[in-house]
Amino acid sequence: MGPVGRERPKGLLVTCLCSAQRTKWGAGVGVYRQTVVDLDATEEQAEEWGGRGWRWLLDEGFIRAEPWRGDVVHLGGPNWREAVDLAAWDWRARAEGFDPEPCGAVELITGRTVFLAGPYDPPSAICPHCGNATADWPMAAVDAWHSTGAAAFSCRTCAREVPLPDWTWTDDYFAFAHVGFQFEDWPRLSPAFTTAFAEALGHRVRFLHGTW
């Protein structure tokens, strides 16, 4: 299960919990997925800002100019190493004589999407006004936003009603947005890269990552 777009049925968090149990039992693990999500692009702006981010990735040499699959899936480009932090144990950090690219692809995702870090237990919601974190939040809000593009619930501490996309989440688990750039089986993206990406977009971004 990856990012949840319009075609997904309701009951998203139930599906998430089932996936989490499969992960605990040792199944369904193997793809390390990282997503840089544009938090500010509206549904009407998704294609424009998705294209802007895609052109930046191409111009900076992070992805190849030739599509690998369709028009929105590309492989790593000549400057992919400048986007990542290669751990010392990663064999690519010790490669000599050739420059192996990441084995996974980069995909542009546009449209109303529930982006998730991985198939884990639901996170706590953190109020953007008072900073209170609670695990007791109305999970039906996820399906409501997915279906209609609008959902909100009130903070139990400060009583302010907050739109679902404005909440933050423990471990940056969720992002409710319309543009995302998904890196599959790449080494860990560096903070410098995600900062530069946000500057290129001119928008706030959230970095999600986890193993699926």
Q: What's residue 195's pLDDT?
A: 97
Whether residue 165 has pLDDT greater than 50: yes
- pLDDT for the residue numbered 189: 95
Q: Which residues are registered as beta bridge partners of 33?
A: 184, 210
Check pLDDT > 90 for residue 69: no
Mapped onto helix, strand or coil, the DSSP state of residue 58 is: helix
* Banded model confidence at residue 58, pLDDT cuts 50, 70, 90: very high
Q: For residue range 32-48, what is the model confidence (pLDDT) as tens digits? A: 999 999 999 999 999 99
Alpha-helical segments (H) within the chain: 12-24, 46-59, 140-148, 191-201
The first and second tokens of residue 82, run together, are: 């400048």
Domains defined along the chain, listed by start? 32-86+101-118+173-212 (3.30.70), 121-172 (no CATH)
In tens, the pLDDT along 115-162 reads: 999 988 889 999 999 999 999 999 999 999 999 999 999 999 999 999
Q: Which region among 81-90, 153-162, 167-176 has the lowest average model confidence (pLDDT)? A: 81-90
pLDDT, mean of residues 60-81: 84
What's the chain's average pLDDT? Answer: 84
Q: What is the rounded distance in angstroms from the CA atom of residue 13 to the CA atom of residue 119?
A: 10
- What's the pLDDT tens digit per position in 2-33? 565 533 334 455 334 333 333 333 344 588 99
pTM above 0.85, yes or no: no
User: How do beta strands 161-163 and 152-154 pair?
Assistant: antiparallel
More confident residue, 188 or 89: 188
